[in-house]
Structure 1
Amino acid sequence: MIAEHEGAGALVILANFVSPLAVDLSEASVLRQWSEQAPRKIWLTRPRDVLVVPVPLGDAFRRYAFERLRIPDGSVTVVTVPDAPHMAMAQALAVHGLLEPLRALVHARPGARLLPTALDEATVALAADLGTPLVAFEAGGPGMETLRTVSDLNTKSGFRALAGRIGMRLPAGRVCTGAEVFPVTCDLLAEHERVVVKPDRSAGGHGLRFVARGEEPAQPPAAPGSRWVVEQYVDHTRAVSAQGHTTAERVAVLFDGEMRMDGGSFAGYSSPLGGLPEATRAELADWTRALGRQLAADGYRGPYSLDAVCATDGTLYALECNVRRTATTTAYAMLTRLRGAGLPAPAWSTGTAHAACALSFDAAVTCLTEAGLDFRPGDGEGVIFYADAPANGTDWRYAAFAADHGRLTEVEVRLTAALGHDDGS
């Protein structure tokens, strides 16, 4: 049992990666890229659940996941919803004639509940249309005030406004329009050696640009009236985050960890967070709880995360929050489920492992098996390919688990070797 399964009735798991919460719906290419990760939601399913995804699931991956979850293949109904230009996934269902079939599936599952990745207006309207409650929300679902809060806090400017009010430390910065980005960037570069230019609504590092003093700040490829945030770049040793969860009764910090970054973009995660002063880690947790209390007061129920960096002098600076299911949420739920109740939480990580040549899904799993890394329920350590086969056959998204960070590093080194690379590649 995991938190998502609390309560009676089947789940309709809506992997709505195509949502206006993360980026503008005109950003078709990045939305398609993110949608390729949607198959990972299979790790939340149980028999009779319905999984609604924007891309098909490979047969080999489906069998692999169900075998490890110990549920019968075919016991979960999968509905694939192709994208529709400039539309949230919840709206694309009707465009592709899939709303009535989904309604029939819900009707056949009395007590079904909707579990979306992102809580946007289209999803709330879909839940009302289907007559299904949203997981964790009280009767009647979230109101417009809650939806406004969720939308605002998934912007850089909305987060900065709230974070400042509840006492988080922030990098120096300003909110501006697209027409103002150039002069604002120049002003901040007069005070700081380097700045970050951020689209107001973006996720995973998409659209960020780093500008150093002496460089020519490029004009953003955006309308003059678009919204941006220009911030001091904090020279840091660690990029960290904490995952919170709020209900009507309590706010909890579920886990924390270090974000693995590649050019400002999220590339993986390692948990739990170690190697920081205890006071710094405690401050991150305190900020996460304070954010959760504000979300709870505004009617939000469910997961959220807080991202921050630790400066070279040890000072913590908050950067943004994600009020939705994030890249780490499903991995943590999968780990909790496969490890079993009552066992101590292991060290775990996510990332992308690169194979020396293109592999089929079954061939990649054979590499894990031969290396003694194929994770099974109850194991103490190992590796899961949790997001289906990559299109190029070489870039494999994985989750690794071990007793501690030392063993976890060994597991990741062995994974690299198993896929055809030596330790230095």
Structure 2
Amino acid sequence: MVKTIIIANVAEAFSRSIAKIRSRKEKTLRLAIEQSLSQRSMFWGGDNKVVITPYFIPKLLFHRNSIFCKYKNTVNVTPVNESINLCEAILKDKKLYDWLKVIIKNNPKVNLSPYSFTNFFLELTRKLKEDNLIFKTDAIPDSNTDVVSYLDSKSGFRLELLKLQKQFPEIKIPYGFICNNPEVALRIVEQFYKLNASCVLKANLGESGWGLLTIKPGVFKSLIELSNSIKSTIINESIWQNDSIIIEELILHTSSPSVEVLVTAKGPKITYICQQIIDDKGTFSGILLGKNTIKTSLIKKLIHISSIIGKRYWQMGYRGYFDIDFVISYNGTAFAIETNMRRTGGTHVYDFACKVLGKNWFEKAVILSKDNFIYGDEIIDGKEIFKRVSKMLFTSKIGKGVVISFISKSIPLLGYFIIGDSLVEASNLKSRFESLVKL
């Protein structure tokens, strides 16, 4: 029996942004990263599933992680041709599509679950329905499908939360502006500079630190130097071009928690809350969750705010996963800074924990993840990586250790998460793991 068909369309979710990249080298690198991240999908949703990825998850990785998760009925399949648009590739692969139809026909209650809703995913579901197949999916909006791209944009998020603020003043977002072109954006930045105030520039469709620029007045000797720096970034990075630019005050903060929400026809449900690990450039690296990682008082506050936002998105017709990113100021104020309308960087970690560690794992363990570990200049074979860290790998008997979540086939990149009894232990394991892989 198959309960779920996972469509790991990670790169597809960002195909518009990737398509804008002019540099072939940069475009190839960005695509390789997103395609590699799709391997995390094997952890989503428990057992009894089909996982469709752009290319096969490395056999050794899939085998070992299936053992960790105690999977007995999970298979990984791929289209014959790798493509940035996975759903389109599925439709073009007659053999795979026909096989998929048989799976759905034999499991009429199966749930089609993508990483993110896209028009390509919508087309795939339409074709399956035209073939008289019966299945479920909670990922298709209940009304206008444009609601997904609207809420996923920085401008759409800001406009909706400004509306909610009028009714719920406890919802806070940074002071800021939506600028329709770079010229307006430069004028706004100049005003921040003259006030000696720091600000953040956000590309409307930026993600994971791509399309994020922090401006601190003390870094620049003059207004001209500041303007030239911003102009250079906008000209050279495609993510900034032909779209809105959002400018917000920089909130000095102590932490950056994130709340994942699942929206079904019944309404929103909070799945988990974690701390985000963000580097100095604002790039998302991984998450921290579990025992003593977030204060109970803050959890209650975040759940309250996220439930309000989730209800609003539900009323607008959104269905599926999304997360809300926050920053917590030094006086304890929670500022919502964006929503990402898709599964998030911690979904695979949370699903693994619930499946393997049990219902009360949050009170017993700490999990630390990383999704952007560049281990060197050359690609290392997966077998060699597992050999180097064999004594550190997670075992159900001990209940802690390292789980490798993906290994890129084209660049020296891998992802992992570490389960420990405390943050200190998890951090020590992290340092040891990375040093062993780099040998």
TM-score, normalised via structure 1 length: 0.83
Could you say which residue in structure 1 is the equivalent of 2:88? 91
Could you say which residue in structure 2 is the equivalent of 1:5? none
| Aligned sequence identity (%) | 17
CA shift, 1:355, in A, is: 5.0
- 1:249 maps to 2:244: no
Could you say which residue in structure 2 is the equivalent of 1:58? 58
- 1:415 maps to 2:433: yes
Superposition pairs for residues 17-416 of structure 1, below 5 Å?
17-20=10-13, 24-27=17-20, 29=27, 30-44=30-44, 49-71=49-71, 76-80=75-79, 82=81, 88-94=85-91, 97-99=92-94, 101-109=96-104, 110=106, 111=108, 112-131=110-129, 133-136=135-138, 141-145=140-144, 147-167=145-165, 168-179=171-182, 180-191=184-195, 193-213=197-217, 214=222, 215-217=225-227, 218-219=230-231, 220-221=234-235, 225-262=242-279, 263-272=281-290, 274=292, 278-340=296-358, 346-351=365-370, 352=372, 359-370=380-391, 373-377=392-396, 379-389=398-408, 391-393=410-412, 395-416=413-434
CA shift, 1:274, in A, is: 4.8
Distance 1:116 1:12 in 2: 8
Cα distance per residue 1:56-105 (max 9 Å; x no partner): 322222222233233469x6141146555xx74323444xx315632432
CA shift, 1:16, in A, is: 0.8
The gaps in structure 2 that reach 5 residues or longer are 22-26, 166-170
**Coordinate RMSD, CA, aligned:** 3.0
User: Would you say the 8 A contact 1:13–1:52 is kept in 2?
Assistant: yes
**Counterpart amino acid of residue 9 in structure 2:** N
Distance 2:47 2:404 in 1: 21
Distance 1:17 1:224 in 2: 22
Could you say which residue in structure 2 is the equivalent of 1:16? 9
1:380 alignment partner, SS class = coil
Distance 2:390 2:401 in 1: 10
Distance 1:100 1:192 in 2: 62
User: Would you say the 8 A contact 2:45–2:351 is kept in 1?
Assistant: no
**Counterpart amino acid of residue 256 in structure 1:** I
Question: Which structure has more RCO (C-alpha within 8 Å, separation ≥ 6)?
Answer: 2
The gaps in structure 1 that reach 5 residues or longer are 1-7
- TM-aligned CA distance change 1:270 to 1:343, over 3 Å: closer
CA shift, 1:297, in A, is: 2.0
User: Would you say the 8 A contact 1:47–1:76 is kept in 2?
Assistant: no
The structure richer in helix per residue is 2
CA shift, 1:358, in A, is: 6.0
2:78 alignment partner, SS class = strand
Distance 1:196 1:283 in 2: 25
- TM-aligned CA distance change 1:343 to 1:267, over 3 Å: closer
- TM-aligned CA distance change 1:59 to 1:100, over 3 Å: closer
- TM-aligned CA distance change 1:159 to 1:324, over 3 Å: same
Could you say which residue in structure 1 is the equivalent of 2:24? none
User: Would you say the 8 A contact 1:178–1:228 is kept in 2?
Assistant: yes
User: Would you say the 8 A contact 1:14–1:114 is kept in 2?
Assistant: yes
Cα distance per residue 1:323-357 (max 9 Å; x no partner): 21111112211222122456555221101556578
1:18 alignment partner, SS class = helix
Distance 1:128 1:298 in 2: 22
User: Would you say the 8 A contact 1:360–1:389 is kept in 2?
Assistant: no
1:41 alignment partner, SS class = helix
- TM-aligned CA distance change 1:181 to 1:70, over 3 Å: same
2:156 alignment partner, SS class = helix
CA shift, 1:264, in A, is: 0.7
